[in-house]
């Protein structure tokens, strides 16, 4: 299927709308932030990421969930281990993915960034299909939102150093940038 963006939604993505977003303070979108997530930590599959991003995570399902079930967070898009895409927030809205962050002296990266989560962890290799999907989507986003350049495709660790480590040492930036 040819990927397209229609009214700020990716046509090939399953849509699960998150309440955890708001309007951007300005219309500028000029950065893409790559994250990683697994719930419970180190486990893949299951409904828990979507439950977290829609404020429906049941704290009784896992002891780790007791710590995070009250968080109100989201990302624009999730790329699962098998390449399945889930979009939670339209790209023109501010998803709550970066937290306390800065890039090139500018604070609050959520204001101008699109956040893409890879289902994974810092120290385990990502799947080939995830790199392919991420590169394909990144190219599409750079065409649709022309201010996003390859230099402004960064990891969560780049905008929140010391606080965040994702997508981690297992993410092959050289390989990914070659796919762009």
Q: pLDDT tens, 118-133? A: 999 999 999 999 999 9
Q: Can 117 be counted among the known catalytic residues?
A: yes
**What are 177's two structure tokens?**
């940038």
> How does pLDDT run across 14-52, given as a tens digit for each residue?
999 999 999 999 889 999 999 999 999 999 999 999 999
Of the pLDDT bands very low, low, confident and very high (cuts 50, 70, 90), residue 116 is very high
Q: What is the pLDDT of residue 4?
A: 97
Catalytic residue among 14, 117, 119, 136: 117
Q: What is the mean pLDDT of residues 108-123?
A: 98
Given the candidates 3.40.50.300, 3.40.80.10, 3.40.50.720, 3.20.20.80, the CATH classification of the domain at 5-179 is: 3.40.80.10
The domain ranges of the chain are 5-179
Q: What is the mean pLDDT of residues 54-83?
A: 97
Model pTM? 0.97
Question: Which residues have a Cβ under 8 Å from the Cβ of 108 and sit 6 or more positions away?
Answer: 98, 101, 102
**What are 79's two structure tokens?**
């790329």
Would you call the peptide bond into 19 cis, given omega within 30 degrees of 0 as the criterion? no
Q: What is the pLDDT of residue 17?
A: 98
């Amino acid at each position: 299927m040819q990927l397209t963006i229609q009214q700020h939604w990716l046509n090939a993505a399953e849509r699960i709308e998150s309440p955890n977003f708001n309007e951007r303070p300005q219309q500028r979108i000029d950065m893409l932030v790559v994250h990683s997530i697994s719930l419970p930590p180190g486990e893949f599959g299951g409904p828990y990421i979507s439950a977290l991003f829609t404020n429906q995570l049941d704290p009784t399902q896992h002891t780790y969930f007791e710590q995070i079930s009250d968080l109100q967070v989201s990302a624009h898009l999730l790329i699962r281990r098998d390449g399945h895409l889930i979009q939670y927030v339209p790209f023109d809205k501010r998803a709550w993915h970066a937290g306390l962050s800065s890039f090139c002296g500018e604070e609050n990266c959520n204001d101008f960034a699109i956040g893409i989560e890879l289902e994974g962890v810092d120290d385990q290799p990502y799947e080939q299909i995830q790199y392919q999907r991420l590169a394909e989507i990144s190219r599409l986003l750079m065409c649709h939102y022309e201010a996003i350049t390859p230099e402004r495709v960064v990891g969560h660790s780049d905008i929140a150093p010391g606080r965040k480590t994702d997508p981690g040492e297992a993410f092959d930036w050289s390989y990914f940038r070659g796919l762009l």
